[in-house]
Protein backbone atom coordinates (compact mmCIF):
# COMPACT_ATOMS: atom_id res chain seq x y z
CA UNK A 1 0.00 0.00 0.00
CA UNK A 2 1.51 3.33 -1.05
CA UNK A 3 2.02 6.20 1.38
CA UNK A 4 -0.16 8.47 -0.75
CA UNK A 5 -3.12 6.21 0.03
CA UNK A 6 -2.36 5.98 3.73
CA UNK A 7 -2.58 9.70 4.50
CA UNK A 8 -5.49 10.84 2.35
CA UNK A 9 -7.42 11.48 5.57
CA UNK A 10 -4.66 13.70 6.95
CA UNK A 11 -4.66 15.66 3.71
CA UNK A 12 -8.35 16.44 4.03
CA UNK A 13 -8.07 17.30 7.72
CA UNK A 14 -5.08 19.56 7.27
CA UNK A 15 -5.49 21.07 3.82
CA UNK A 16 -9.21 21.17 3.01
CA UNK A 17 -12.06 23.43 4.14
CA UNK A 18 -12.82 21.14 7.02
CA UNK A 19 -13.89 21.37 10.63
CA UNK A 20 -12.41 18.47 12.54
CA UNK A 21 -12.20 17.19 16.09
CA UNK A 22 -9.44 14.78 17.13
CA UNK A 23 -9.29 13.07 20.54
CA UNK A 24 -6.54 10.70 21.47
CA UNK A 25 -4.24 9.04 23.95
CA UNK A 26 -0.49 8.79 23.46
CA UNK A 27 1.04 5.90 25.37
CA UNK A 28 4.56 5.06 26.48
CA UNK A 29 6.55 3.73 23.56
CA UNK A 30 4.85 6.04 21.07
CA UNK A 31 1.65 4.15 20.32
CA UNK A 32 -1.58 6.11 20.06
CA UNK A 33 -5.35 5.67 20.06
CA UNK A 34 -7.21 8.31 18.06
CA UNK A 35 -10.84 9.16 17.44
CA UNK A 36 -11.76 11.54 14.65
CA UNK A 37 -14.83 13.53 13.65
CA UNK A 38 -14.61 15.60 10.48
CA UNK A 39 -16.98 17.40 8.15
CA UNK A 40 -16.50 19.53 5.08
CA UNK A 41 -18.40 22.80 5.08
CA UNK A 42 -21.46 23.02 2.76
CA UNK A 43 -20.01 25.36 0.14
CA UNK A 44 -16.73 23.45 0.02
CA UNK A 45 -18.70 20.23 -0.44
CA UNK A 46 -20.49 21.77 -3.42
CA UNK A 47 -17.21 23.06 -4.85
CA UNK A 48 -15.51 19.64 -4.63
CA UNK A 49 -18.48 18.00 -6.34
CA UNK A 50 -18.23 20.61 -9.09
CA UNK A 51 -14.49 20.01 -9.46
CA UNK A 52 -15.11 16.27 -9.68
CA UNK A 53 -17.40 16.89 -12.61
CA UNK A 54 -14.82 19.05 -14.36
CA UNK A 55 -12.07 16.48 -13.77
CA UNK A 56 -14.31 13.61 -14.86
CA UNK A 57 -14.10 11.84 -11.50
CA UNK A 58 -17.72 12.21 -10.41
CA UNK A 59 -19.21 8.97 -9.14
CA UNK A 60 -20.05 8.20 -5.55
CA UNK A 61 -22.21 10.65 -3.60
CA UNK A 62 -19.60 10.49 -0.83
CA UNK A 63 -17.27 13.48 -0.79
CA UNK A 64 -15.36 12.02 2.16
CA UNK A 65 -15.45 8.22 1.87
CA UNK A 66 -14.96 6.80 5.38
CA UNK A 67 -14.83 3.06 4.52
CA UNK A 68 -12.41 3.71 1.65
CA UNK A 69 -10.12 5.72 3.93
CA UNK A 70 -10.26 2.89 6.50
CA UNK A 71 -9.18 0.35 3.89
CA UNK A 72 -6.30 2.54 2.76
CA UNK A 73 -5.05 3.28 6.27
CA UNK A 74 -5.25 -0.41 7.18
CA UNK A 75 -2.44 -1.05 4.70
CA UNK A 76 0.09 0.87 6.80
CA UNK A 77 2.42 -1.25 8.95
CA UNK A 78 1.99 1.19 11.86
CA UNK A 79 -1.84 1.17 11.81
CA UNK A 80 -2.93 -1.67 14.09
CA UNK A 81 -6.65 -1.14 13.52
CA UNK A 82 -8.90 1.48 11.97
CA UNK A 83 -12.63 1.98 11.51
CA UNK A 84 -13.99 5.16 9.93
CA UNK A 85 -17.62 5.44 8.84
CA UNK A 86 -19.68 8.12 7.16
CA UNK A 87 -22.26 10.07 9.11
CA UNK A 88 -23.15 11.97 5.95
CA UNK A 89 -21.84 12.42 2.38
CA UNK A 90 -19.21 14.93 3.59
CA UNK A 91 -18.88 13.89 7.22
CA UNK A 92 -17.20 10.98 8.96
CA UNK A 93 -16.17 9.67 12.34
CA UNK A 94 -14.20 6.75 13.67
CA UNK A 95 -10.96 5.71 15.26
CA UNK A 96 -7.53 4.24 14.71
CA UNK A 97 -4.80 2.57 16.75
CA UNK A 98 -1.27 3.48 15.65
CA UNK A 99 1.72 1.48 16.89
CA UNK A 100 4.30 4.26 16.41
CA UNK A 101 3.30 7.85 15.78
CA UNK A 102 6.79 8.86 14.64
CA UNK A 103 6.61 6.45 11.71
CA UNK A 104 3.05 7.32 10.73
CA UNK A 105 4.30 10.15 8.53
CA UNK A 106 7.81 10.23 7.15
CA UNK A 107 9.16 12.66 4.59
CA UNK A 108 11.96 12.36 2.07
CA UNK A 109 15.53 11.64 3.18
CA UNK A 110 14.26 10.12 6.43
CA UNK A 111 12.79 13.38 7.71
CA UNK A 112 9.68 13.24 9.85
CA UNK A 113 6.66 15.46 10.27
CA UNK A 114 6.24 14.05 13.79
CA UNK A 115 9.21 13.46 16.11
CA UNK A 116 8.91 11.39 19.30
CA UNK A 117 11.50 10.78 22.02
CA UNK A 118 11.35 9.10 25.40
CA UNK A 119 13.69 8.84 28.39
CA UNK A 120 13.79 8.36 32.15
CA UNK A 121 13.87 11.32 34.54
CA UNK A 122 14.18 10.70 38.26
CA UNK A 123 13.10 7.11 37.78
CA UNK A 124 9.94 8.15 35.93
CA UNK A 125 9.31 8.05 32.17
CA UNK A 126 9.44 11.36 30.35
CA UNK A 127 9.12 12.26 26.72
CA UNK A 128 8.69 14.87 24.05
CA UNK A 129 6.65 15.17 20.84
CA UNK A 130 7.40 17.75 18.16
CA UNK A 131 5.21 18.43 15.13
CA UNK A 132 6.66 20.85 12.59
CA UNK A 133 5.36 22.25 9.30
CA UNK A 134 6.86 24.94 7.09
CA UNK A 135 6.99 25.87 3.41
CA UNK A 136 9.68 23.25 2.83
CA UNK A 137 7.98 20.33 4.53
CA UNK A 138 4.46 21.15 3.29
CA UNK A 139 5.21 20.34 -0.40
CA UNK A 140 6.81 17.07 0.73
CA UNK A 141 3.59 16.16 2.53
CA UNK A 142 1.63 17.14 -0.57
CA UNK A 143 3.75 14.77 -2.66
CA UNK A 144 2.42 11.90 -0.53
CA UNK A 145 -1.23 12.68 -1.23
CA UNK A 146 -3.39 11.20 -3.94
CA UNK A 147 -3.51 12.97 -7.28
CA UNK A 148 -7.18 13.79 -6.71
CA UNK A 149 -6.49 15.44 -3.35
CA UNK A 150 -3.64 17.48 -4.84
CA UNK A 151 -5.94 18.62 -7.65
CA UNK A 152 -8.48 19.91 -5.12
CA UNK A 153 -5.84 21.73 -3.13
CA UNK A 154 -4.31 23.25 -6.24
CA UNK A 155 -7.77 24.48 -7.23
CA UNK A 156 -7.95 26.22 -3.84
CA UNK A 157 -4.64 27.93 -4.69
CA UNK A 158 -3.29 27.32 -1.20
CA UNK A 159 0.11 29.03 -0.86
CA UNK A 160 1.39 26.06 1.18
CA UNK A 161 0.70 23.81 -1.82
CA UNK A 162 1.83 26.15 -4.58
CA UNK A 163 4.87 27.46 -2.74
CA UNK A 164 3.80 31.09 -3.11
CA UNK A 165 4.33 33.88 -0.59
CA UNK A 166 0.95 35.40 0.22
CA UNK A 167 -0.41 36.86 3.42
CA UNK A 168 -3.59 35.38 4.84
CA UNK A 169 -5.59 38.44 3.78
CA UNK A 170 -4.13 38.32 0.27
CA UNK A 171 -5.01 34.66 -0.01
CA UNK A 172 -8.59 35.15 1.18
CA UNK A 173 -9.02 38.02 -1.28
CA UNK A 174 -7.74 35.85 -4.13
CA UNK A 175 -9.96 32.95 -3.13
CA UNK A 176 -13.00 35.20 -2.80
CA UNK A 177 -12.45 36.70 -6.24
CA UNK A 178 -12.40 33.25 -7.86
CA UNK A 179 -14.97 31.25 -5.87
CA UNK A 180 -16.91 33.92 -4.00
CA UNK A 181 -16.73 35.41 -0.55
CA UNK A 182 -18.73 32.61 1.16
CA UNK A 183 -16.02 30.03 0.33
CA UNK A 184 -13.35 32.37 1.68
CA UNK A 185 -15.41 32.91 4.83
CA UNK A 186 -15.75 29.14 5.38
CA UNK A 187 -12.01 28.74 5.20
CA UNK A 188 -11.44 31.70 7.52
CA UNK A 189 -13.76 30.17 10.13
CA UNK A 190 -12.63 26.52 9.87
CA UNK A 191 -10.79 25.08 12.85
CA UNK A 192 -9.12 21.79 13.70
CA UNK A 193 -9.35 21.05 17.42
CA UNK A 194 -7.50 18.31 19.22
CA UNK A 195 -7.37 16.98 22.77
CA UNK A 196 -4.61 14.49 23.53
CA UNK A 197 -3.79 12.61 26.74
CA UNK A 198 -0.05 12.06 27.34
CA UNK A 199 1.71 9.39 29.44
CA UNK A 200 2.49 11.81 32.26
CA UNK A 201 1.83 15.33 33.54
CA UNK A 202 2.73 17.90 30.90
CA UNK A 203 5.71 20.05 31.91
CA UNK A 204 5.98 22.27 28.82
CA UNK A 205 3.81 23.01 25.81
CA UNK A 206 4.07 25.15 22.69
CA UNK A 207 1.08 25.90 20.48
CA UNK A 208 -1.63 24.76 22.89
CA UNK A 209 -2.77 24.63 26.49
CA UNK A 210 -2.25 21.93 29.09
CA UNK A 211 -4.07 20.64 32.17
CA UNK A 212 -2.48 17.66 33.91
CA UNK A 213 -1.85 14.97 31.29
CA UNK A 214 -4.10 16.58 28.67
CA UNK A 215 -3.08 18.99 25.91
CA UNK A 216 -5.65 20.95 23.92
CA UNK A 217 -5.09 22.60 20.55
CA UNK A 218 -7.16 24.87 18.31
CA UNK A 219 -5.60 25.25 14.86
CA UNK A 220 -7.03 27.73 12.34
CA UNK A 221 -7.20 26.12 8.92
CA UNK A 222 -6.02 29.37 7.36
CA UNK A 223 -2.68 29.11 9.20
CA UNK A 224 -2.09 25.73 7.57
CA UNK A 225 -3.11 26.77 4.06
CA UNK A 226 -0.98 29.91 3.98
CA UNK A 227 1.98 29.14 6.25
CA UNK A 228 3.02 32.77 6.59
CA UNK A 229 5.37 31.45 9.26
CA UNK A 230 6.40 27.91 10.28
CA UNK A 231 3.99 26.10 12.55
CA UNK A 232 5.17 23.91 15.38
CA UNK A 233 3.62 22.15 18.34
CA UNK A 234 5.80 20.73 21.09
CA UNK A 235 4.78 18.87 24.23
CA UNK A 236 6.99 17.55 27.02
CA UNK A 237 5.96 15.43 30.01
Residue-wise pLDDT for 179-194, tens only, equals 889 888 988 888 888 8
Residue 62 backbone dihedrals phi, psi, to 5 degrees: -75, 125
* Cβ neighbours for 44, distance < 8 A, ≥ 6 positions apart: 16, 17, 18, 183, 186, 187
pLDDT tens string 184-223: 898 888 888 889 999 999 999 999 999 999 999 998 888 9
Residue scoring higher pLDDT (62 or 92): 92
Indicate if the pLDDT at residue 32 is higher than 80. Answer: yes
Q: Are 40 and 64 in contact (CB under 8 A)?
A: yes
Q: How many domains is the chain partitioned into structurally? A: 1
pLDDT on residue 216? 95
In 10 A of CB 97, how many CB atoms? 15
Above 80 in pLDDT, residue 76? no
Predicted TM-score of the model (pTM) = 0.81
In this predicted structure, the answer to whether residue 14 has a pLDDT above a threshold of 70 is no
- 209 CB neighbour count, 10 Å cutoff: 11
Range of the domain at 104: 3-236
Amino acid sequence: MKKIQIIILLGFLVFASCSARINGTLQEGGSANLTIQAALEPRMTALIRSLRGVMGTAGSDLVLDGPSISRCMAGSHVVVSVSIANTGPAALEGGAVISQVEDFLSLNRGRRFISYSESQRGGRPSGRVLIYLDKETAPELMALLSREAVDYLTALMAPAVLGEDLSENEYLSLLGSLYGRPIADEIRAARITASIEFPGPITAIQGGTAAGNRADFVIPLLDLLVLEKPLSWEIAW
